[in-house]
Chains A and B, each alone.
Chain A
């Protein structure tokens, strides 16, 4: 957290950690202080005690998205800002790019695609330099799922089939037991 200089990012990262504590307690009755936080070989954090609990955090705009599961999980949420043609060309096939160019809401169409790519990268625990890996097949039982998101946002999760996301207000996080 120290390494990130933007105040908004720091606040979102802190909220993400609180959301993880909330979610693992809510889903598994696991207090993060008692959980043993470790890193995968790719440098992705998870809790290893008493049983593996994986988590992933994403933030954009006013929202923080957290996914927790017994199996590896990757999540991404993005606020619909402007969609650049250069990035769209990189992440879409020629046919998909042509459809995107003709779409009525290019921003929504772009970010819907982007979050699908990004959550798959995060599931694999790799960075944007491995973008082409998102075209590689995922293991059996693992898929990318688009999530219902607030107006003006796109969100997706990569992992096992998710339960519907829940909105946790900020004030509820202040009472999280760690």
Chain B
């Protein structure tokens, strides 16, 4: 799951200097704004075939938060 999330972020952010780990801060380390975060969320929704409500987005502080949410939602879907 982490690798899939990481690939989506890398494809979106496209920065050579970016080393994405679970602790990477979603806004500050990735250097994205709120619109870009929404676009990333839409990319996650398409990749994992889930709906991510806005109230969950506020909990996406670091990459591991996204991974944990998607793991949980994927498990529910199966």
Contacts and interface: CB of A to CB of B under 8 A. Distances in A.
B31 A6 contact: yes
B1 to A, nearest CB: 21
Interface residues of A, number: 20
Max chain B Cβ within 10 angstroms of own Cβ: one of A60, A127, A129, A130 = A129
A127 B60 CA distance: 11
Interface residues of B, number: 22
B29 A128 contact: no
A5 B34 CA distance: 16
B54 A129 contact: yes
A87 B28 CA distance: 21
B35 A114 contact: yes
A37 interface: no
Interface of B: 15, 17, 25, 28-29, 31, 33-35, 37-39, 42-43, 45-46, 54-59
A86 interface: yes
B54 A131 contact: yes
**Helix, strand, loop or mixed for chain B's interface?**
helix
B28 A128 contact: no
A69 interface: no
A4 interface: yes
A132 interface: yes
Contacts of A131: 38, 54
B9 to A, nearest CB: 14
Nearest to B29: A5
Nearest to A81: B35
Contacts of B37: 128
Contacts of A127: 34, 58
